[in-house]
Structure 1
Amino acid sequence: MKRSRINDILREGDAFIRSFGYTLPPFAYLSPETLKTSDHTEIKARRMGWDITDYGKEAFDDMGLFLFTTRNGLNADLGKKSAMLYAEKIMISRDHQLSPMHRHDIKVEDIINRGGGVLVIELFMADADGGIDRDSEVSVMVDGTMRSLPAGGHLKLNPGESVTLFPNNWHAFWGEKGDVLIGEVSTVNDDLTDNIFEHPIGRFSNVEEDEEPLRLLVSDYDTHL
């Protein structure tokens, strides 16, 4: 994915987020140079910030996701009585842009339609080995009420609605009737080790540096900071 394309997506995504009255934290707008010269230890360690992914498939419009992690705990603190055990993201799923089927081993997450189109989530239960159970009914909590769907059923969330997903919930999602602003509130988020995809796929984009980065992505931290 060309850096120039990533820069354009960042600008478009920031404008879309602002159109709903949502304001990102100040560190979102630090230049790469400022991040390099300031104390970025916690931002880097917690992998907070911008994340534009095409899952390594070079087809962002068809398969991809825009994310910004506003806050995040650390895996090392899981199980402690007094620690930051939660994370929060704001995301954009474009109209008919697929986020592919996956689940997590640890993370429990609330996925919230914050505005825009309809968020469609395809759901399966995990079998005893962690794979996809293509036969069993799926039960999920939608805004505090249990809802049941057939295996592979499509849960449709209108603006304001949310669903709670557990590690045994396989899920893929996309927007319909327009781009969707998505909120995520979850257990500590670890995109390096806690994403299990149905098919082998990359979590981050392969970046071609055709221009300077407007902002650093979370996936840039190890090489640029």
Structure 2
Amino acid sequence: MKRSEMNKRMREAVAFVDQMNFKLPPFAYWSPGDWKTKGSEYDEIRDNMLGWDITDFGSGDFSKVGLLLFTIRNGNLNTDKYIKPYAEKILIVEEEQVTPFHFHWNKMEDIINRGGGNLLVQVYNSREDGEFLDTPVQISTDGRAYTVEAGAILRITPGESITLPVGQYHKFWGEKGTGKVLIGEVSMVNDDRTDNRFYGEAGRFSEIEEDEAPLYLLGNEYPSVK
């Protein structure tokens, strides 16, 4: 992705989040210059990759296959320095913008429609070799437990949520004609470097073409403390 497109998407995200009356933490708005003044007291942000995250999953077309996220809080599976056993994110999903099929090896998560349009979620169970199973899928939505057929598409409307257990394939996108969606994610500790198993060819972090200066740094771009 071009840095200019990332900057544009960040500006749009800030406007949408404000429109939805959701407030991001102060570090969301720190410039690259601000980060150079931040010492080791902010190591939790750096070490746990809090902050902005924009990916096109290697598609080259963010509008069709992509996702914008902001990690608000997170623990860390690789050190005892941070004791939080949970994570929280905000996601912005555009109409018909796909996050491709994947599951998590370690993370169970709730995906919550915080407002805007409808979110469509397609689900499969997974085999040990990573293929889809054709077995019924156990679903939990807002305290209701039920089963659906393999490959079922579930509509999550504003205020509703779905629980996605470890090993359950899911793909999601905004429903056409309903508007972009503000999604909350509440989960176990998250490590996007190791915990995503994509069904097809996909890359979690985009290669960036530096055609202009960054508006805000991504969660994997913070300068180290000297």
TM norm structure 1: 0.93
Aligned to 1:150: 149
1:214 maps to amino acid: L
| 2:56 and 2:67 in contact (8 A); partners too | yes
Q: Show structure 1 runs of 4+ deviating over 6 A.
A: 222-225
Corresponding residue SS for 1:206 = coil
Deviations 1:45-88 (A, max 9, x none): 010000111112210000000100000001136xx8x9310000
Q: Structure 1 residues 137 and 222 mapped into 2: Cα distance closer, same or farther (>3 Å)?
A: farther
Equivalent in the alignment of 2:86:
86
1:168 positional shift: 2.2
Alignment of 1:62-141 (within 5 A): 62-76=64-78, 83-133=83-133, 135-141=134-140
Q: Across the two proteins, how many residue pairs are aligned to each other? A: 221
Residue 206 (structure 1) aligns with? 207
CA distance in structure 2 between the aligned counterparts of 1:224 and 1:217, rounded to whole angstroms: 16
How far is the alpha carbon of 1:130 from its aligned partner? 4.1
Root-mean-square deviation over aligned CA pairs: 1.8
Return the letter of the residue paired with 1:183: G
Paired residue type of 2:115: G
Question: Is the contact made by 1:130 and 1:168 (CA closer than 8 Å) also made in structure 2?
Answer: no
C-alpha change, 1:113 and 1:31, in structure 2 (3 Å) is same
Residue 223 of structure 1: CA displacement? 8.8
Is the CA contact 2:35–2:222 (under 8 Å) kept in the aligned structure 1? Answer: no
- Sequence identity percentage: 48
Q: Partner letter of residue 106 of structure 1?
A: N
The unaligned stretches of length 5 or more in structure 1 are none
TM-score scaled by structure 2?
0.93
Note closer, same or farther for the CA distance 1:224–1:200 as it changes in structure 2 (3 Å cut).
farther
The 8 Å contact of residues 35 and 223 in structure 2, kept in 1 or not, is answered as no
Aligned to 2:164: 165
Write the mapping of 1:210-225 to structure 2, written as runs, cut at 5 A.
210-221=211-222
Unpaired segments ≥5 residues, structure 2: none
Measured in 2, the distance between the counterparts of 1:128 and 1:146 equals 24
Check if 1:2 corresponds to 2:19: no
